[in-house]
Structure 1
Amino acid sequence: MWQKTFAFIVIPLVLVSVFFGIYSAGSDHFAALFTDYELDINLWQVFCLFVLGFFIAFNYWNYAVEKLIYKNNHFLDNEFQKDSRIPKATYSFLDLSAERMSGVISFVLLNILLIFFIITYNYEQFYETVKTPVQLSEETHERVNAVIISIIMAILVIMFYFKSGFNFDPKAGLLKILAKIWIFLNAILVMSAAVKNYEYIVNYAFTYKRLGVFAFLLLSMIGLALTFIKIQKKKRNIFLVNTMVWYFYGTILVCSSFNWGGFITSQNMKRKDFAVNYHLTSVNFSEKALLKYADEKNDQKLKKTLQTKVKKETSKTFLSKIIYYQTIQ
């Protein structure tokens, strides 16, 4: 009885509670189901402590790192070994059938919860009254953060259930279908956030953060697609880590090779509400494009400011004082 209670009630309730908290952070109507609920965590302090702890631990155990990596390198394989493809329970106190039923109940409840959240999320985004730009900006970023955290948690939950020989359980067909439905619903959530961000850009122009939102949502969608492949192809959990690292690295390479400041300037110049001062102070703008804009608008003040800036930039030398000037004969 204790085993069934833990598998059928405790685990599903814990998962539902966690996702209830995430969804409440991204939807006011959804959060209205609770009163006086707040998750007070300083993520910056947690990150700094994590980096500091990792730095100290790595330097303290540095002499043993190399041997440890070689010894455990086989754990980074994407494919299961033949001897690990036998379905077996993860924990000694929970048999395979109970663990399987726990996953079915959890995914049924999470699918229902996510459907309700998608409805409230889209209602708030597309059907509520128009708000001020500041309010819309804050709410958009809060909701996108909630979506990204939700996707990460969804992938972790799937990794929790689809591990080791459990992937080869012949009776886990229903669990796999429910997991794939959950992945599909999370993809709908990502697309809803992307549409809202695009609408936000159409109404209030391009910025670095709004373009960054698209990058994070794209990575979230890639993560969901890889999770689907992991279930379909029966890959190990480390497959997600190995593959996502390369996609994240590739995204950074692609983004670093593109002049986003020039793109933002050229696109926003087409708007009637083009904010010149914002682009002069907060964007790595294109001087050539702004000079053309100043000529078209006959803005002598802007033209003079740009010419002064260009003159200062062209007068700078690339030669090193220490290497060149002080050693020349």
Structure 2
Amino acid sequence: MKTYRYIFLTTALFTILFYEESIGLNLGILGIIYAVLTLYKTPEKNRIKTFLLLFVTSVLSSIAFAWYADFPSFLAVMISLLLLSYRAKNKRMKILLLIPVVVVNICTFICRFFSFQSWLPKINVSGVGQKLVAFILIPFILLVVFFGIYSVGSNHFANLFANLELTVNLWEIICLSVLGFFIAFNYWNYDVEKYIYQQNHVLNNDFGEKDRIQKASYLFMELDVERMSGVISFLLLNVLLIFFIITYSYEQFYEVIKTPVQLSEETHEGVNAVVLSIIMAILVIMFYFKGGFNFDSKAKFLMILAKTWIFLNAILVCATLAKNTEYIINYGFTYKRLGVYGFLILSLIGLILTFVKIQKKKRNAYLFNTMTWWLYGTILACSYINWGGIITSQNVKRSDFVFNYHLTSIHFNDKILLKYADEKQDVKLKKQILDKVNKENSGSFLSKILYYETLKK
């Protein structure tokens, strides 16, 4: 099947699935169709392990959106499909280059659309076919488009046709068709500019032969002086970090906290400081180990100090994880407190990867390439797991459980709340939950969220 057929097919499917519907099951169906068509269209040589894994995650993310229809699952579907399409054509291109590819293609959409010879087939049309296109199809499309524009711009013009009973909403069909075509065109017919291709080698994980040459980073500083600067810097930073860990641990674990508000503020301030410290630590290590020092036989002490600093930062992260755990034990689970776990675990992964970078002599690009995949994995985890259910199932065991908060601010926990209402034999609470469920189930089939379908009684 030619590319233009994929474009028109998925445009039609988009219009059909979303016509007079809100986003729900329809996007999940469309995501699966896009993934299957991409697998079918991709040549066998490009179906490498990464591509097949992305195909699986695209299908699972589409199912997750059909089940939850929330922002994390939406983000997971979009990123998974973009990566799938990207890998279908460019199996060796670095993942980070997907961002400029998407931006450039969106900006150049109009120009690429009007380059008909590049994406439409070159065929000889008979005289009758030419007349049908020229005398009927083109005038009809123009008439419909301008009718919609003029109807929006003038109420009197629209009222002239008020007595005409149309069974379809032409304006919605036009808008959906345009949006569906824009998505389909950029998905199936995107280009990677030559300049972007040329930057792919910049993001290689391993050093080249020329990178092994020992040379100073600055004209005003000799190599030996720069190396000693690194040793002094890391030595001082290690001492400073040891003192910070001691004082931070004392403040977090030994000082008496009077109020929950004070505990919350100090925990969040501590987490922010730790995350910023980790980012700065990684940047400093990237600065000193961006090139020749990775292969410098005289830089062994510098490497030891850098690894020690990584280890101390890891201790700091573990201390913060322990404090967040204590906070949750005392005051319960929330989305933000689980988010703190996510940030700290990603920070710890960043430190581990930085250690691997030094140990295995990788380029700085290795950190960006690898961490991007970890971030993608985090998004997938956020979309697949029912965090609201986990939060409520744990908090409902507490004596200070607040029903209204979990009903209005925590999502996809209705089964647990129904069980709670039954145990309390509270008819009013149960009615509140069922009203919410019935409201979610009131939409048409394609707009449904499958999670709420399981709660029908």
Structure 2: segments with no counterpart, 5+ residues? 1-99, 112-190, 448-457
How far residue 197 of structure 1 moved from its aligned partner, in angstroms, is 0.4
1:319, 1:96 → 2: CA distance?
A: 65
1:229, 1:67 → 2: CA distance?
A: 32
Conserved in 2, the CA contact under 8 Å of 1:265 and 1:285?
no
1:89, 1:239 → 2: CA distance?
A: 22
Cα 1:78–1:207, aligned 2, differ >3 Å: closer, same or farther?
Answer: same
Matches within 5 A, 1:26-175: 66-175=193-302
How far residue 319 of structure 1 moved from its aligned partner, in angstroms, is 4.8
Cα 1:319–1:190, aligned 2, differ >3 Å: closer, same or farther?
Answer: closer
Conserved in 1, the CA contact under 8 Å of 2:278 and 2:313?
yes
1:60, 1:75 → 2: CA distance?
A: 24
Deviations 1:151-199 (A, max 9, x none): 0000000000011122111000100000000000000000011000011
1:319, 1:239 → 2: CA distance?
A: 43
How far residue 58 of structure 1 moved from its aligned partner, in angstroms, is 6.3
Conserved in 2, the CA contact under 8 Å of 1:104 and 1:178?
yes
Correspondence for 1:241: 368
1:261 and 2:388 are equivalent in the alignment: yes
Aligned residue type for 1:146: A
Aligned residue type for 1:70: Y
1:185 and 2:277 are equivalent in the alignment: no
Aligned residue type for 1:137: S
1:308 and 2:435 are equivalent in the alignment: yes
TM-score, normalised with respect to structure 2: 0.56
2:309, 2:215 → 1: CA distance?
A: 24
How far residue 78 of structure 1 moved from its aligned partner, in angstroms, is 0.7
Runs of 4+ in 1 over 4 A off after TM superposition: 57-65
Correspondence for 2:178: none
Identity over aligned residues, as a percent? 69
TM-score, normalised with respect to structure 1: 0.76
1:59, 1:308 → 2: CA distance?
A: 45
Deviations 1:183-238 (A, max 9, x none): 00000000011000011000000000000000110100000000000100111111
Structure 1: segments with no counterpart, 5+ residues? 1-53, 321-329
Select the residue among 331, 334, 356 that pairs with 1:207.
334
Cα 1:58–1:299, aligned 2, differ >3 Å: closer, same or farther?
Answer: same
Aligned residue type for 2:401: F
Conserved in 1, the CA contact under 8 Å of 2:214 and 2:296?
yes
2:104, 2:441 → 1: CA distance?
A: 45
Structure 1 window deviating more from structure 2 (194-203 vs 285-294): it is 285-294
Structure 1 window deviating more from structure 2 (214-223 vs 307-316): it is 307-316
Could you say which structure has the larger radius of gyration?
Answer: 2
Conserved in 2, the CA contact under 8 Å of 1:103 and 1:175?
yes
Q: Secondary structure at the match of 1:172?
A: helix
Conserved in 1, the CA contact under 8 Å of 2:386 and 2:412?
no
How far residue 263 of structure 1 moved from its aligned partner, in angstroms, is 1.0
